[in-house]
Structure 1
Amino acid sequence: MNPVNTKPYTLPPDATWLITGCSSGIGKAIATLIASKPSLRLIATARNPSTLSYLPSTHNILKLALDVTSPSSVDAAFAAAKAHWGEEFHLDVVVNNAGYSLSGDTESATEEEMHAEIETLFFGTARVTMRAVGVMRESKKEKGEWRGGVIFNISSLAGLIGLPGHAFYHAGKFAVEGWSESVAREMHPDWNINICIVEPSGVKTEFEGHSKAHAAPHPAYTDPSMPARKLEAYVNAGIKAGGGEHLMEPSAIAETIFMIAERGEKVPLRLPLGAVVWKMAKAKAEGFLGELEVLKGISGMGKEL
């Protein structure tokens, strides 16, 4: 199996960051952090660029309209960035953050709802990633080495574990995980292009009504004993209790992503963030190992494993 992210990565002092979904949440937190560092360049994007008014207007900050579901919109954003900086344009860090969650009873989700979710979460991430790879691959240092870069694809606990009532959100995040791992293994080590799958657990803004869509309730799933209703009741009870200690601040995630980019070490392929996702991922892995042992005889189909 081809290794990934094989070399320590050094963030250039004049690095350019491109971030999608900067109108709120994690994207807004990362954009705010990068904008506070005068030596860095920022390409902040959102479907509606008026939502980026919180950012100052300087030559180092470019605010663009970008709809990741539209190939022409992605092309236009990259062209605008190149036109803005001309021959000085380079791309060092990309954060694919644009997305929303679709929750509700899977049986009631419409064709439009399910396709829109996957188009945004998966195909949007794929479009921006591959355009970024092309730019990073063509950018070399004076010494003849590739400048390279880091691409952070925002997944979630939802990309590791499937829970009731969010099937298409899980499908999109699982797709991002598998696709990102495959693409990471396609990169030649000399290119210095690193891919990191970021897996936060619950983020506070996600539970405040931002970036969420809901499929219509299905009458067959309304009973409180149904798994999705039980999960909803558990989550709502936690919110009403006013705790939220297990939810992560977007600013903390932003600071961790920046630290991974600048620390001068190898970039991890996966970056689980938060005690909840770490514990649940570990429990899933241990459970899977147990299942493998139980099925060892069947999996080998009579052969020694």
Structure 2
Amino acid sequence: MNPVNTKPYQLPPDAVWLITGCSSGIGRAVATLIAEQHPSHRLVATARDVSSLSYLPDNNPNILKLPLDVASPDSINSAFTAAISHFNHTLDIVVNNAGYSLSGDTESATEEETHREIETLFFGTARVATRSIEVMRQSPDKRGGIIFNISSLAGQVGLPGHAYYHAGKFAVEGWSESVAREVHPDWNINICIIEPSGVKTSFEGHSKAHMKPHPAYQSPDMPARKLEAYVQMGIKAGAAAGMLEPGEVAEAIYSVASKEEKVPLRLPLGPTAWKMIKAKLEAQLRELEEVKGVSAMGREL
């Protein structure tokens, strides 16, 4: 199996960052971090509505604000064309952040809701990452780069009531791992899957969609209703204080990009994500051992 992210990465002092979904949350936090704390770096901040980027200055030559809708191939191509033209065909760091959650009873999901979710979470991420690889491998000085695909704890652990959100994030994870093994090591293009647990963002607003409730799933003893009750109890008890701040995620992303070490393929963020992913993997190993005899199909393992 081809190794991934084989060489230590060195962040250029004038690195060009392209970030999707900068209107709020993680995208906004990363954009703010670069603009305010690393002025020698150059920033391409994108959002579906450019007016949502008013928190960034208009008169800074190192900051370019562009409209970008990851569900539109034409929008992506236009944004990339403008970005690489503005910054001399250079792109070093991409934070592939745009997306929204879709939750509810899966039997109630409409074709339109499910297709829109996967279109944004998976195909949008794949389009931006693919275009980024093309630019990075053709950069004038061949300096490579990092593509941070923002997944989630939901890309590793499936919970009731979020089937299509999990499907999109699981797809991002599998796609990212495959492509990370596909690029040539000499290109020095690194892919890092970011897996945060709960983040204090405006996700509950325009970035969180709900499917229509299904009457067959409304009993309090249904798994999704139990999970919802547990989450609400935690919020009322103040457990939400353990959620990550968007700025913490931004700092972690910058740390990975700048520490001059090999880039991890996966990076869980937050104690909850680390512990739940570890528990899930340990359970999978136990289950794998339990089916060993059947899996061997009479052959030696």
TM-score class, shorter-chain normalisation, is over 0.9
Structure 2 residue identity aligned to 1:149: G
Q: Which residue of 2 aligns with 1:218?
A: 214
Find the aligned partners of 1:275 and 1:168 in 2 and give their Cα distance: 25
* TM-aligned CA deviation for residue 206 of structure 1: 5.5
Structure 2 residue identity aligned to 1:34: I
Q: Say if 1:210 and 1:236 are closer, same or farther in 2 by CA, change over 3 A.
A: farther
* TM-aligned CA deviation for residue 162 of structure 1: 0.5
With the length of structure 1 as denominator, give the TM-score of the two structures. 0.96
* TM-aligned CA deviation for residue 264 of structure 1: 0.3
Find the aligned partners of 1:215 and 1:186 in 2 and give their Cα distance: 37
- Aligned with 1:243 (options 230, 236, 239): 239
Query: Which segments of 5 or more consecutive residues in structure 2 lack a partner in the other structure?
Result: none
Q: Which residue of 2 aligns with 1:41?
A: 42
Find the aligned partners of 1:28 and 1:165 in 2 and give their Cα distance: 28
Q: Which residue of 1 aligns with 2:226?
A: 230
Contact 2:93 / 2:145 at 8 angstroms: preserved in 1?
Answer: yes
- Aligned with 2:64 (options 62, 65, 71): 62
User: Where in structure 2 are the equivalents of 1:255-274 lying within 5 Å?
Assistant: 255-274=251-270
Residues 7-53 of structure 1: per-residue CA shift (max 9 Å, x gap)? 00000000000000000000000000011121000000000010000
Q: Which residue of 1 aligns with 2:8?
A: 8
- Aligned with 1:290 (options 267, 272, 286): 286
Contact 2:48 / 2:69 at 8 angstroms: preserved in 1?
Answer: yes
The reply to whether residue 135 of structure 1 matches residue 135 of structure 2 is yes
* TM-aligned CA deviation for residue 302 of structure 1: 1.3
Contact 1:96 / 1:128 at 8 angstroms: preserved in 2?
Answer: yes
Find the aligned partners of 2:210 and 2:255 in 1 and give their Cα distance: 34
After TM superposition, what 4+ stretches of structure 1 lie above 3 angstroms from structure 2? 206-210
Q: Say if 1:49 and 1:93 are closer, same or farther in 2 by CA, change over 3 A.
A: same
Residues 131-150 of structure 1: per-residue CA shift (max 9 Å, x gap)? 11010000142xxxx21000
Contact 2:105 / 2:213 at 8 angstroms: preserved in 1?
Answer: yes
Contact 1:140 / 1:148 at 8 angstroms: preserved in 2?
Answer: no
User: Where in structure 2 are the equivalents of 1:32-111 lying within 5 Å?
Assistant: 32-36=32-36, 37-57=38-58, 58-85=60-87, 88-111=88-111
Find the aligned partners of 1:32 and 1:26 in 2 and give their Cα distance: 10
* TM-aligned CA deviation for residue 210 of structure 1: 5.0
Q: Which residue of 2 aligns with 1:301?
A: 297
Find the aligned partners of 1:167 and 1:159 in 2 and give their Cα distance: 11
* TM-aligned CA deviation for residue 303 of structure 1: 1.5
Q: Say if 1:159 and 1:59 are closer, same or farther in 2 by CA, change over 3 A.
A: same
With the length of structure 2 as denominator, give the TM-score of the two structures. 0.97
Count of aligned residue pairs for this structure pair: 299
Q: Which residue of 1 aligns with 2:121?
A: 121
Q: Say if 1:207 and 1:148 are closer, same or farther in 2 by CA, change over 3 A.
A: closer
Contact 1:5 / 1:268 at 8 angstroms: preserved in 2?
Answer: yes
Find the aligned partners of 2:53 and 2:286 in 1 and give their Cα distance: 48
Find the aligned partners of 1:213 and 1:31 in 2 and give their Cα distance: 25
Residues 239-289 of structure 1: per-residue CA shift (max 9 Å, x gap)? 122331321000000001001001100000000111001111111111111
Q: Which residue of 2 aligns with 1:162?
A: 158
Structure 2 residue identity aligned to 1:194: N
Find the aligned partners of 2:235 and 2:63 in 1 and give their Cα distance: 36
Contact 2:13 / 2:40 at 8 angstroms: preserved in 1?
Answer: yes
- RMSD over aligned Cα atoms: 1.0
What's the % identity of the aligned pairs? 73
Residues 69-101 of structure 1: per-residue CA shift (max 9 Å, x gap)? 00000000011113323xx23000000000000
Q: Which residue of 1 aligns with 2:205?
A: 209
The reply to whether residue 24 of structure 1 matches residue 24 of structure 2 is yes
* 3-state SS of paired residue (2:242): coil
Structure 2 residue identity aligned to 1:126: A
* 3-state SS of paired residue (1:176): helix
* 3-state SS of paired residue (1:284): helix
Q: Say if 1:214 and 1:183 are closer, same or farther in 2 by CA, change over 3 A.
A: same
Structure 2 residue identity aligned to 1:68: V
User: Where in structure 2 are the equivalents of 1:177-196 lying within 5 Å?
Assistant: 177-196=173-192
Find the aligned partners of 1:84 and 1:153 in 2 and give their Cα distance: 24
Find the aligned partners of 2:295 and 2:237 in 1 and give their Cα distance: 46
* 3-state SS of paired residue (1:292): helix
